[in-house]
Structure formats: structure tokens, C-alpha cells
């Protein structure tokens, strides 16, 4: 069957046309768009479909970085980090989609895991997984996504959450200072304010304000002229800049701690996977500090040591999952 799938995020929107048969999908044409350059998803879809001689699909699934709600006329979502509102019924009418489904982007990643191989992961902790045990997903990018996977029948069903917006729980004096800093700046302190691209920039600003190290003029210029989070990451990994390294180190420790929190909350005896755009770029430093924070759970430290931890390196996993969900919508293939 021929399906249209989308992975819609605050930074990038990816669309693809896929052929799906027997629990697998082959991506035929994919295209990435800078989300912020468009007034809405309809504009992107129109541009993408203009290149199709026969834009007809058995089903459509759009995975969105936002909570998805059912309404009397279909489904709706307001993209968390964009001023976009998406209504399934409006898209069905505008583009002639007979079957359309909206799902959360981390729900799509959960479905897409079944199509990945061992080369699509970097293993941080081997662990001792329980077959068919609950699994979890966490991923920092434009925001912080989280999901829980539970075994249903003969496959995993993905349950999206908004746990990334949960209150930040500091575990050391420096993090207590950070919490107070965030409360002063934003009126609340959540994990997404820290574990995201913008969050890394906040950590850098926090450490700079407390005089942790002197800011490098070259890093300041790079932050002003391009992506600030990318500039900090590059300075930390390749220029050995002290302030950037401290910011990235703090980011990694908090990331590991929250991944451990999610593993405990989900009872993720089947494993936890790290998704999102940031982890693959910093995988070289996602080692001792990440795992030390992940395992630092008091009387439950032995429990999280048995949980496998992997970084997903395949950037198309969300598209695969959305395509599989579209196939399920057509009734021809269960996810």
C-alpha cells in the first residue's frame, strides 16, 4: 500500500511517501523542511505534494511534537514549539485524504523501533532485559519527548506522555542553584527547560552568570551568528572550551538522571532508548557521567543497572513509525 507519513517537529518537518507490506515500510521519497520558515503545515504539504504526479494515498499519518486530542470532528494538535494548529478534518478536506491519523512524535518513534537493526543503535549499557518487559523512550531536541512502550498481543504499543514538562528534581548543590535560577527566570523549573537545544543554552548562561569560567569571545561570536546550542556543543567537543564543556557536562548528568527517573517510573525492564536530535551528536560524551546519574537511584540502583540503555542513531525512525501507523489505519497491517 502507498502511504504518506510526516514527522513534524519544532525545528524540522520531514515528509515521506512509503510503500508498506507485511509489517515493514520502504521510504520512497523523503524531504525535510525548516519548520520555522513556513506559516503552517498545510503550506509544507502543498509544496511537497506539488512534486507528486498522482498524490493519492491509502492512508496518511502525521506524527506531531505535541499532545494529540480527539474531537467531535476528528483529531487536533497544537505544536508545542510552533504557533501551528493542526486539524485532521481540515487536512482531509483540503488535500482529499480519505484516511488520516495524527499521533504524537514519540508514539511514532516507538512504532518505528521495530524496523531498526543493531547498526541503528549505540549501546551505553548492555543490561539484562526482560523479554516483552515495558520499555521507555526519552529524547532531547527542540523539546523533551518521552513515551512508554507496553507489550500488547504480539507487538509493543506506544503510549505518548508529556513527562518532559515534569518538575525538575535537582540532586546536587549546583543543580539546586540551577533550579532557583530557572524559577527566577521562568517562574517554574521543568526538565524541558534544561534538556533541549534551548536548555543547553540556558545551562551555559547559568554557568556564565555564576562565574564558572570566562566566556570565550570566539564562542560568543559563534553563538550570535548561528545556532547557539550547536556552537556550545562544537566548542565543548572540539575546542575544549571550559565553559562550554561545563555546560555540556551538566546537561549530560541531568539527562542521565531523568532517563533513570523515566526507567523507574515506566518499570522499563525491557530497556530505554534515547531518541531526539541531540544524543547522536554528543554520543562520544554520553558515557560515564550519563550512566553514573542514570544509576544513582539509591536502593533501586541495582534495578536500573539491569536496564539496557541505547542511543538511536537512525534519523528516520519517526517516519518509519508514522508510515507503519498509516498502514495500520488502512486496516491492512497492525503496528
Q: For every one of its 335 residues, what pLDDT tens digit does the chain have, with 9 covering 90 and above?
A: 899 999 998 889 999 999 998 778 899 999 999 999 999 999 999 999 998 877 789 999 999 999 999 988 899 999 988 899 999 999 999 999 999 999 999 999 999 999 999 999 999 999 999 999 999 999 999 999 999 999 998 889 999 999 999 999 999 999 999 999 999 999 999 999 999 999 999 999 999 999 878 999 999 999 999 899 999 999 999 999 999 999 999 999 999 999 999 999 999 999 999 999 999 999 999 988 999 999 999 999 999 999 999 999 999 999 999 999 999 876 655 44
Backbone angles phi, psi at 5, to 5 degrees: -130, 150
- Beta-bridged to residue 183, according to DSSP, are none
Instruction: State the Cα–Cα distance between residues 261 and 297, nearest whole angstrom.
Output: 8
Instruction: State the Cα–Cα distance between residues 291 and 272, nearest whole angstrom.
Output: 12
Instruction: State the Cα–Cα distance between residues 21 and 332, nearest whole angstrom.
Output: 8
- 44 CB burial (10 A radius; 0-12, 13-18, 19+): buried
Residue 335: its pLDDT value, please? 44
Residue 53: its pLDDT value, please? 75
- Beta-bridged to residue 85, according to DSSP, are 78
- C-beta of residue 141 within 8 angstroms of C-beta of residue 196: yes
Q: How many CB atoms lie within 10 A of CB 287?
A: 12
Instruction: State the Cα–Cα distance between residues 310 and 125, nearest whole angstrom.
Output: 7
Residue 135: its pLDDT value, please? 98
Quote the pTM value: 0.93
Helices (H), ranges, the chain: 41-49, 88-95, 105-112, 173-186, 197-209, 217-225, 228-238, 242-266, 288-295, 301-305, 317-329
Q: How many CB atoms lie within 10 A of CB 305?
A: 15
- C-beta of residue 13 within 8 angstroms of C-beta of residue 35: yes
Closest CA to 57 of 107, 117, 17, 112: 17
- Domain 118-313, CATH class in plain words: alpha beta
Instruction: State the Cα–Cα distance between residues 224 and 300, nearest whole angstrom.
Output: 43
Q: How many CB atoms lie within 10 A of CB 94?
A: 12
**Residue 33, H or E segment:** strand 24-34
- Beta-bridged to residue 29, according to DSSP, are 17
Residue 334: its pLDDT value, please? 43
- Beta-bridged to residue 13, according to DSSP, are 8, 33
- C-beta of residue 188 within 8 angstroms of C-beta of residue 182: yes
- C-beta of residue 236 within 8 angstroms of C-beta of residue 222: no
Give residue limits of the domains in the chain: 2-111+316-329, 118-313
CATH code reported for the domain at 2-111+316-329: 3.30.420.40
Could you report the per-residue pLDDT of 77-89, keeping only the tens digit for each? 999 888 999 999 9
Amino acid at each position: 500500500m502507498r502511504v504518506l507519513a510526516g514527522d513534524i517537529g519544532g525545528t524540522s518537518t520531514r515528509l515521506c511517501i512509503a510503500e508498506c507490506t507485511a509489517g515493514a515500510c520502504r521510504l520512497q521519497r523523503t524531504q525535510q523542511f525548516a519548520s520555522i520558515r513556513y506559516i503552517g503545515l498545510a503550506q509544507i504539504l502543498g509544496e511537497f505534494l506539488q512534486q507528486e504526479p498522482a498524490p493519492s494515498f491509502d492512508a496518511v499519518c502525521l506524527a506531531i511534537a505535541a499532545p494529540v486530542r480527539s474531537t467531535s470532528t476528528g483529531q487536533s494538535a497544537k505544536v508545542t514549539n510552533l504557533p501551528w494548529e493542526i486539524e485532521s478534518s481540515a487536512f482531509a478536506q483540503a488535500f482529499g485524504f480519505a484516511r488520516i491519523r495524527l499521533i504524537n512524535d514519540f508514539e511514532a518513534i516507538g512504532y518505528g523501533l521495530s524496523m531498526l537493526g543493531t547498526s541503528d543503535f549505540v549501546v551505553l549499557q548492555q543490561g539484562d532485559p526482560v523479554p516483552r518487559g515495558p520499555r521507555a523512550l526519552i529524547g532531547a531536541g527542540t523539546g523533551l519527548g518521552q513515551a512508554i512502550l507496553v507489550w500488547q498481543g504480539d507487538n509493543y504499543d506506544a503510549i505518548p506522555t508529556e513527562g518532559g514538562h515534569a518538575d525538575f528534581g535537582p540532586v546536587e548543590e549546583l543543580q539546586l542553584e540551577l533550579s532557583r535560577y530557572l524559577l527566577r527566570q521562568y517562574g517554574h523549573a521543568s526538565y524541558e527547560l534544561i534538556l533541549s537545544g534551548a536548555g543547553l543554552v540556558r545551562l551555559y548562561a547559568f554557568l556564565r552568570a555564576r562565574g564558572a569560567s570566562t566566556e570565550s569571545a570566539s564562542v560568543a561570536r559563534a553563538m550570535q551568528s548561528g545556532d547557539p546550542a550547536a556552537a556550545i556543543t562544537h566548542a565543548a567537543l572540539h575546542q575544549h572550551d571550559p565553559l562550554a564543556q561545563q555546560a555540556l557536562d551538566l546537561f549530560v548528568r541531568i539527562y542521565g538522571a531523568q532517563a533513570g527517573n523515566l526507567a523507574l517510573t515506566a518499570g522499563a525492564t525491557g530497556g530505554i532508548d534515547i531518541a531526539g536530535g541531540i544524543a547522536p551528536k554528543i554520543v562520544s560524551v554520553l558515557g560515564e557521567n550519563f550512566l553514573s546519574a542514570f544509576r544513582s537511584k539509591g536502593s533501586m540502583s541495582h534495578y536500573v543497572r539491569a536496564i539496557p540503555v541505547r542511543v538511536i542513531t537512525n534519523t528516520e525512525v519517526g517516519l518509519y513509525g508514522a508510515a507503519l501507523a498509516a498502514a495500520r489505519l488502512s486496516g491492512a497491517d497492525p503496528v
